[in-house]
Amino acid sequence: MPAVVVNSGQHAEAVHRTFGEFRIRSDHDLPSLPAMPNLGTASRHLTRQIAALIAHCRPASVLVQGDTLTAYAGARAAAAAQCCVVHVEAGLRAPTIAQPFPEEWFRRRIARHAQFHFAPCASAHANLLAEGVPPASIHAVGNTGIDSLRTLLAQESLHGSSDRQRRARILVTLHRRENWDGNADVVCDALVAIAAQKRDVEILVPVHPNPRIANRLHRRLGGRPQISLVAPMGYRAFIAAAATAALIISDSGGIQEEAPYLGVPLLVPRACTERPEGIATGFVRLVAIERDAIVRDALALMAQRRAPAIAFDDTAPFGDGRAAGRIVDILETAMIRTAV
């Protein structure tokens, strides 16, 4: 089944770096997404660019993954061109459309356009059914992000750190829109307080390129001896840092899936999550955006006995690391039936 890979230009530098790590060749590179006055303008701009490419390539289907602006614009353009829309990582839902915004809004809108819904976990499958999506179009396959993690862990030993090394490092990422501005300040203040209470701790913070968050991180955390602000990390380097951390503090959705497979506790400074299975593993904990709450829970998670990492098997919450093969098989079968 031939595929055309498109780099939409959203976070272009990070995408090129990741493509390089996975040896993926982009067939079409759209211009880097320029600064736009608002999300609606950016969405229309990217939708027009992808629509022009669809008209040129004339694909039978368009596959989008996740909850990004690129995924939404791709689904919207494909639907307008009457192409089959395939949504990977479908069905994740938070209790309210406002948190996380715009990701939650994108997810729900993509679902209206998709003909294939590949659900990463049981709750996602249930959400799609509850929304009236035809059962035959929903496929519980796990998440392809876990495929990548399983492949990497099979290639490299990342669990060889000593207990001392694990106790000494906290890995932090912050980028979600709801944690911009004042919430970012609260998280930074909590990190400073944690460092003051644990003099042996090292806090590693890969800084997201968005200046809205990057400027605050540098202003609040820069120059502190226990806190290292570094450029965004490649996939392999990041997973290595995560696997050897004593604790991860992150508002990322993907890390909520990865942490249980790495056996590393994760503190999520958000009001809610679209991945309740992560919390059920015991590795993931939501925390209010309050300095004292973050400090208290971070210290508690670092002190508790470490549970074994969950296995890549059929009981794992986000799949056994073989989602991509299932997706290809389902799509190829559908194409054969259509051709007949």
Q: For 281-312, how does the pLDDT look when each residue is reduced to its tens digit (9 = 90+)?
A: 999 999 999 999 999 999 999 999 989 999 99
Overall number of domains in the chain: 2
Q: Which runs of consecutive H residues, i.e. helices, occur in the chain?
A: 12-21, 39-57, 69-80, 103-113, 122-130, 144-155, 163-168, 182-197, 211-221, 235-243, 253-262, 276-280, 291-303, 323-339
For the record, the structure tokens of 93 come out as 């839902």
Examine residue 148 and state whether it is found in any structural domain, yes or no.
no
Catalytic residue among 11, 76, 87, 89: 89
Active site residue 290: no
Examine residue 313 and state whether it is found in any structural domain, yes or no.
no
Range of the structural domain that residue 41 is part of: 6-142+321-339
Active site residue 208: yes
**Helix or strand holding residue 267 (H, E):** strand 266-268
The answer on 157 and 136 residing in a single domain is: no
Examine residue 179 and state whether it is found in any structural domain, yes or no.
yes
Active site residue 89: yes
Residue 155 has a CB neighbour count (10 Å cut-off) of 9
The answer on 193 and 101 residing in a single domain is: no
The answer on 101 and 12 residing in a single domain is: yes
Active site residue 332: no
The answer on 271 and 198 residing in a single domain is: yes
How does residue 162 score in pLDDT terms, banded at 50, 70 and 90? very low
| Closest residue by Cα to residue 242 from 332, 194, 329, 171 | 171
Catalytic residue among 28, 45, 167, 177: 177
Supply the CATH number for residue 121's domain. 3.40.50.2000
Examine residue 12 and state whether it is found in any structural domain, yes or no.
yes
Task: For residue range 206-258, list pLDDT tens digits in order.
Answer: 998 888 889 999 999 999 999 999 999 999 999 999 999 999 999 999 999 99
Examine residue 57 and state whether it is found in any structural domain, yes or no.
yes
Examine residue 33 and state whether it is found in any structural domain, yes or no.
yes
Catalytic residue among 11, 76, 87, 103: 103
The answer on 44 and 22 residing in a single domain is: yes
Active site residue 164: no
